[in-house]
Amino acid sequence: MLSYRHAFHAGNHADILKHLAWLGVISHLKRKPKPFVLFDTHAGGGEYPLSADYSQQNKEYLTGMSPLQGASAQNTLLDEYLKLNQPIWNNDIYPGSPRLLCEALRTQDHAHLMELHPAEIDSLQQCVARHGNARIAVHHRNGLEGLVAMTPPKPNRGAVLIDPPYEQIDEYPQVADNTAKVLQRWANGQIVVWYPLLSERAAPKARACQTMLETLAAAGKTCFTAELVVAENTHDAGMYGSGVCIINPAFQLDEHLSEAMQEVCKLMGSHARFSLTWRKTEAS
């Protein structure tokens, strides 16, 4: 369960979609001056030097971050994302969701970052100490259990990022069950759940993922999924893309994310495809 290290995959195509969606949620919350609370259940190390052995082993940033370096954007969300990231990328560092949160958070807002991995928690604490402030708390604990324990937050306004490694098949129902518990306590919370798109080679996990998405969609008031495909879905493809399931999304987040990801796909090449599907609307 604790063998996974995000540094192996830092800056890959999945990170681009996940972090664009997360920044989109945060940006919508910042449109009002009222404070909010953010939760990151699987925060990881916070930021990842691309020269490190972990990053260099597979060099997955070449499929995500690298095509975007030096790019300009027409879409407002993608432009914000690039302006925030480019100075960090120029130092050969890929910022994980905690570093993005440190950069994007206002002084009146709060955040709780949770990480269970003993080798990641020190890096996370150091990242927040360098780039964050006293309103960002780091917790060495199971993120899903911590999320249920700390919600609803005060103020009752905010969002959650859930980004498990899904190494074990039981992580899918755990995400679904704990998210449902959170929404029973915090009905208006915005929740972003990342998930992999898996080929037939991993059929049991792929089915578990679809069951999870159905449960998540039913638990919220509204819900859409957004998916980035980067390879052909052949039997042995493994993870051919990924998605985010966004529960209770802000008004027009679907449009802003779609426009941003269409630009991202052009930068990534003709093999990249994006789609967005509403799974539950207020009328349904």
Phi first, then psi: give them for residue 119, nearest 5 degrees. -85, -15
Residue 70 in 3-state DSSP?
Answer: coil
CA distances, 220 to each of 152, 191, 279 (Å): 15, 9, 10
- How far is residue 177's CA from residue 65's CA, in Å, rounded to a whole number? 33
CA distances, 236 to each of 1, 4, 160, 165 (Å): 24, 21, 33, 20
**Residue type (1 letter), 234:** T
**DSSP characters over 176-206:** HHHHHHHHHH-TT-EEEEEEEEE-GGGHHHH
**Residue type (1 letter), 114:** M
Is 163 considered catalytic here? Answer: yes
Q: Which of 15, 40, 109, 163 is catalytic?
A: 163
CA distances, 29 to each of 97, 119, 186, 251, 264 (Å): 16, 32, 16, 11, 23
Catalytic residues: 163
